[in-house]
A and B are shown apart, each in its own frame.
Chain A
Amino acid sequence: MNSRNSRIGMALFAVYLLLYGGFVLLNTFSPTTMEATPIEGINVAIIYGFGLIVSAFVLALLYGLLCTKEGDEQ
């Protein structure tokens, strides 16, 4: 599992893991933070939640663009 594509996959996976881990830990250990409304009257719970869904798609697209046919061959 050392192909170019899988290395890109791992890097992007790490990015998402940090984002998701941050969200879960914030919910667990500081739920009141989620109630704050930093932008335009929308609370952190919704901003972060929507952010996670959007970033999953953006990372997925990025992965699709960076991967190459040659990268599939091991």
Chain B
Amino acid sequence: MIYNPSPIAVIIFLLFVGITVGLSFYLGKQAKSSEGYFAAHGQIPWFVNGIAFAGDYLSAASFLGICGMIAFYGYDGFLYSIGYLAGWIVALFVVAEPMKQLGKFTFADALNSKFDSRGIKLAAGISTLAVSVFYLIPQMVGAGVLVQPLLGLPHWAGVVIVGAVVIVIVVTAGMMSTTWVQFLKGSLLVIFSTVLTVMILERGFEAKPGVDQVQTVTKTADGQTLINGLPKGTGAGDTSLTPVGHISKLPAGASNTGPLGPLDFLRTLRKSEVILWSSEKITADDGSVTTTYTPKPTPGSEVLRPGEHPKFKGIRGDNLLAKFNFLSLMLALFCGTASLPHILIRYYTVKDAAAARKSTIVGIGCIGFFYVLTLYLGLGAMTSGAMDITNSNMAAPLLALSMSELLFAIISAIAFTTVLGTVSGLILASAGAVAHDLVGSFTSVELTDHEQVRIAKIASVVVGVIAIVLGILFQEMNVSYLVGWAFSVAASANLPALVMLLFWKGTTKQGIIAAIIVGMTSSLGWILLSADTYSKVYGWPASEAIVPFSQPGIVTIPLGFVTLVLVSLMTSKE
């Protein structure tokens, strides 16, 4: 599709960026000490921190990725919503309060509270960096995807803008500005998603009978793009893709439902027929690649059941390995949240364990409510008639466009701020890991407060630049795919060490170090040797992959626990 950047979108976007940067400079004065820089003096009110949790967590993958997946495949995207939220139960009941009581600035602090070991600092610091960088890549790619249609800028420009703004936010005021940016973003995201959902229900469904045409996109060997065989453009003789996504049959042959209640909406959809699209890619002898999009009338009852997305099809078959792959993903989502470094550091911004608990409860309420909305947003987008069949990430903004241009501008600007909030949290977590953990593990000299903050600021700039470069290099990668990597690595490397430290007295420092290293390398190795990576990253046949299924969690999370127990038993002094 061809997008025309609207002036309103540009103005609202600049307004958002201006407010966030201004806020950072205003708060910068209060964040001179390390206490202020890394943990906002532990003085953030619990309610604000709770909403900031939502701002931190509801990344581009949640907002753009899940809505897009539901819009294109139905219920399956909602499985991610459920898994992402379930992870918060682990965070609240198992991790929150001990993290607050044991640590000071970073995840490594909590692990190291009993031992004072440089090895633990080093291992935990490296795993924090690895997970954060993995999580950063999809956020940056998402930023690039967003600015193309919104502002008419190329992909790299979006990545550079996000990188630059985030570096300013993090360098000026650290956790102080990061928290308030996330609070702002979290509230706006939930409020405007609610507005969109209400509008979807008000609009109801409309049936548009008739058959859609097959559409093709051809990338010729000399770099031209052809749509249905004609050049892509807006001039004479040019063409562009038709927006898609509608209901072909409503129950009892109705043509229009009028406003619907939340349950009526789902009930009506289940009895309707929706046009979904399947795609197929063929490379011709002359080197041109043609993707053919075919309309596929689908009963609503199939749209609302699990197992339609290619990734989840396995659960409908008899292949046990495919079923394990699904179990493994759902396990990684469950265990991953409570192991994400940028979530964990948010426990140090409140004053005590009770505040940590209360802010998590607020976070769960806010995030859970948003995830309920994702189902309506996704299904609303699916039937909005405004979808771009080549880009599922644009489903939520395009849904807004089908309502009004102003709403489109606001939703897009919020989506962009979404990336800003999450990226600043990640960069701050990485900077903390470098300044507090890695430097501390190499030198026994205690750094002064001022030096720590300075190193953290330099580290933020370096990590920010690395994120910009990776965001440009990986621009072809699927956003939600990369987020899955980050969850698996986080859960495998961090969770066993954290849980066993809390619940098993026999845990030794060697056990913790070994569990982090084994969990991290085994999950990374598994991902690099999996069928998904073979076909999507290296371009090799998926059938040659060495590991039996793509998601590592179900193997590597238990492996981390076993490693910790064995090494601890071998190194225990008794």
Interface, chain A (partner B; CB < 8 A): 1, 5-6, 9-10, 12-13, 16, 20, 23-24, 27-29, 31, 34-35, 37, 40-43, 45-46, 49-50, 52-54, 56-57, 59-61, 63-64, 67, 69, 72, 74
Contacts and interface: CB of A to CB of B under 8 A. Distances in A.
Q: Is the interface of A mostly helix, strand, loop or mixed?
A: helix
Contacts of B27: none
Contacts of A42: 263, 266-267, 270
B481 interface: no
B87 to A, nearest CB: 10
Contacts of A10: 93-94
Nearest to A6: B97
B304 A46 contact: yes
Contacts of A1: 98, 502-503
Contacts of B92: 9, 60, 63
A9 B92 CA distance: 8
B203 interface: no
B339 to A, nearest CB: 16
A72 B97 contact: yes
A27 B270 CA distance: 19
B281 to A, nearest CB: 28
Given A46-B375, A52-B85, A53-B371, 19 more contacts: A1-B98, A6-B97, A6-B98, A13-B89, A27-B307, A31-B306, A37-B270, A41-B271, A43-B305, A45-B305, A45-B306, A46-B304, A49-B79, A53-B85, A59-B89, A60-B92, A60-B361, A63-B361, A67-B357
Interface stretch (B172-180, B323-331, B538-546, B557-565): B323-331
14 contacts: A1-B98, A29-B323, A31-B305, A31-B306, A35-B305, A40-B267, A45-B75, A49-B78, A53-B82, A53-B371, A56-B89, A57-B368, A60-B89, A60-B364
B90 interface: yes
A62 to B, nearest CB: 10
Contacts of A34: 305-306
A46 B323 CA distance: 21
Nearest to A13: B93
B353 interface: yes
Contacts, number: 120
B520 to A, nearest CB: 25
A46 to B, nearest CB: 6
A13 B266 CA distance: 30
B352 interface: yes
Contacts of B271: 41
Contacts of A59: 89
Contacts of A27: 79, 306-307, 315, 326, 330
B354 interface: yes
Interface in B474-508: 502-503
Interface in B66-84: 75, 78-79, 81-82
A43 B270 contact: yes
Interface of B: 75, 78-79, 81-82, 85-86, 88-90, 92-94, 97-98, 101, 263, 266-267, 270-271, 301, 304-307, 315-316, 323, 326-327, 330-331, 334, 352-354, 357-358, 360-361, 364-365, 368, 371-372, 375, 502-503
B86 A20 contact: yes
Given A34-B305, A60-B364, A9 B93 contact: yes
Contacts of B502: 1
Contacts of A28: 315, 323, 326-327
B316 to A, nearest CB: 5
B364 A56 contact: yes
A24 to B, nearest CB: 5
A45 B307 CA distance: 11
Nearest to A42: B266
A2 to B, nearest CB: 10
A53 B295 CA distance: 33
A60 B360 contact: yes
B375 A57 contact: no
A10 B21 CA distance: 42
A61 B82 contact: no
B354 A63 contact: no
Nearest to B316: A31
Contacts of A61: 361
Nearest to B95: A9
A41 B301 CA distance: 10
A64 B89 CA distance: 13
A50 B101 CA distance: 33
B298 to A, nearest CB: 14
A28 B334 CA distance: 16
User: Which 10 residue pairs are nearest across A and B when measured between Cβ atoms?
Assistant: A9-B93, A13-B93, A41-B267, A24-B330, A53-B368, A60-B361, A72-B353, A60-B364, A35-B305, A16-B89
Contacts of B358: 64
